[in-house]
Structure 1
Amino acid sequence: MAQYDTVRAGVGTRAAIDEGLRAHMNKVYGLMSVGLLITALASWAIAGLAVTTDPTGATAAISEGKYLTGLGQAIYMSPLKWVVMFAPLAMVFAFGAAINRLSASGAQLFFYAFAALMGLSISSIFLVFTGVSIVQTFLITAIAFAGLSLYGYTTKRDLSALGAFLIMGLIGLIVASIVNIFIGSSMLHFAISVIGVLIFAGLTAYDTQKIKTDYIAHAQAMDSEWLAKSAIMGALNLYLDFINLFMFLLQFLGNRE
């Protein structure tokens, strides 16, 4: 149920607010689901183009009977890999800076383009982990995400203080991850994975509650353009929570090739 104490009197009936909130959340989850589908398809397709079982013309062997194509060599072994790795992060910052200038349709297209780029960035998981373990980890992530998001939507507890703490932790996690790219510490990698799971589990609940409270706070205006952009930003935040939770869980649950 909506937190009606945050809405001024006269905005509308409870039923109207609840109906609008449900429609808004459905749109958020719908956009997020489309983004995840685009990422999955892009990642699978790119990995398929990057690996071959035919040694003719292959550039490098990655395992018995599997070789990198020219595309795979460029994406995973050339300096281009750094662009592929950091491009999604740069695109997120660019999206946040440009959202106010974009139309709702433009923002949605930007989100889908970002989802495709993310698929390129994480496509290497198909080279490292078995397909079965990737699917299993995805399903576990989906179940955990659903529970955490449901908690964020239904809890009466204000998670804003927790959110500030988690965002600071996220900044530290990004810095530590970049540092570990160059030093390659297995202990630091393990610590990053554990902390990453905890941070994005908390952010899933926090972001869900924030999407809900932001809608209620702006329910009086009911600006259709704002609602559309808000749904896209909410979808992006939950998408990032899901992807990162999945990637960190894969470090523990994934079976390597």
Structure 2
Amino acid sequence: MEYSQKNQNISDLSVNFGNKFLSKVYGWMILALFLTSLASYAILSTPSLQAFFLGNMLLVWVLMFVELGLVIVLTRKVESMETSTAALVFLVYSILTGITITPLLYYYSEATVFMAFGVSAGMFAGMSAIGYFIKRDLSGMGRFLMMALIGLIIAMVVNIFISIWWPQTAWGFSFALSCLAVLIFAGLTAYDTQKIKKIGESIEHDPSRHQNIAIICALTLYLDFINLFLNMLRIMGRNN
């Protein structure tokens, strides 16, 4: 009886710690989304910044490669980094994302952007809740979705060439790919949430370590949301 009670107490402590860890993850993610939104808003609402970035697409492409480099560094070195360094890299990445997605946002109406953001936020929250509360192991679904994501990336590359020779066909293909991407990233949101919840429940009680892991987990959910939003924007703004 005492042994059973002891195991129950350990399980409760693990769940409580996991919930606190997940709160940290969402906190970092929300902060990153705020900085991304702020960067985009600053450019779109300031004529001089708008002219500078929208008129210098080469710089935007360079910043995209910088973003890729930051993600690689963060994913490979996060556990050996100081927490302040990991946080700085993540937040700089979120600001750069705000800059690099601005040329895309520029072509859509303000109402479309806000509507796409709201729908994406609602879908993200719903799928994240499913991932948190569902008892079924989503690992199998996660592997399938990752393979689907690889296929989606290949299809997007193919669509670049299609757009050169058959632009009318490419439009319909792009729309279909955006719909598929929304489904994939919605599913990944549920899978990643469940995975992060399990990480939080099993992680060592070492504040210096779980802070860094919370940041890389926040990056995972952040990327799910950004990709969900951008593809939802393409779907809802297809007539812009």
Q: Please give the range of the TM-score, normalised by the shorter of the 2 chains.
A: 0.7 to 0.9
Please name the residue that 1:193 is paired with: 178
Q: What secondary structure sits across from 1:13 in the alignment?
A: helix
Q: Is the 8 A contact 1:38 1:112 kept in 2?
A: yes
Kindly provide the CA deviation profile for residues 76-125 of structure 1, in whole angstroms up to 9, marking residues without a partner as x: xxx33432444433432232122132122211111101100110110123
Aligned twin of 2:122: 143
Q: 1:225 aligns to what?
A: 208
Name the CA distance, whole Å, in 1 between partners of 2:71 and 2:148.
18
Return the TM-score normalized by structure 1: 0.81
The aligned runs of 1:10-159 (5 Å cut-off) are: 12-49=9-46, 69-75=51-57, 79-159=58-138
Distance 1:235 1:95 in 2: 12
- Find out whether 1:253 has 2:236 as its counterpart: yes
> Which one scores higher on RCO, CA 8 angstroms, separation ≥ 6?
2
Name the SS for the 2:205 alignment partner: coil
Partner of 1:208: 193
Give 1:105's aligned amino acid. Answer: S
Q: Cα distance, 1:71 vs. partner?
A: 3.7
Distance 1:35 1:118 in 2: 10
Q: TM-score, normalised by structure 2?
A: 0.86
* Partner secondary structure for residue 151 of structure 1: helix
Tell me whether 233-242 or 180-189 shows the greater mean CA deviation.
180-189
- The answer as to whether partners of 1:130 and 1:256 remain within 8 angstroms in 2 is no
1:241 aligned to which of 194, 202, 224: 224
**Structure 2 Cα separation of the partners of residues 237 and 51 of structure 1:** 33
1:256 Cα offset (Å): 5.6
Matched, 1:164 2:149: no
User: Any gaps of 5 or more consecutive residues in structure 2?
Assistant: 1-5, 164-169
CA-to-partner distance for each residue in 1:185-240, whole Å, 9 max, x for gaps? 2233122201100110000000000001112223xx31222211121111111111
Q: Which has the higher helix share?
A: 2
Structure 2: distance between partners of 1:70 and 1:236: 28
| Cα distance in structure 2, aligned partners of 1:15 and 1:231 | 20
CA distance in 2, matches of 1:50, 1:158: 50
**Identical counterparts, % of pairs:** 39
Q: Measured at CA, do residues 175 and 101 of structure 1 come closer, stay the same or move farther in structure 2, by a change above 3 Å?
A: farther
Letter in 2 for 1:236: L
Closer/same/farther in 2, CA of residues 202 and 155 from structure 1, 3 Å limit: same
* Structure 1 stretch displaced more, 81-90 or 169-178: 81-90
Query: Aligned with 1:69: secondary structure?
Result: helix
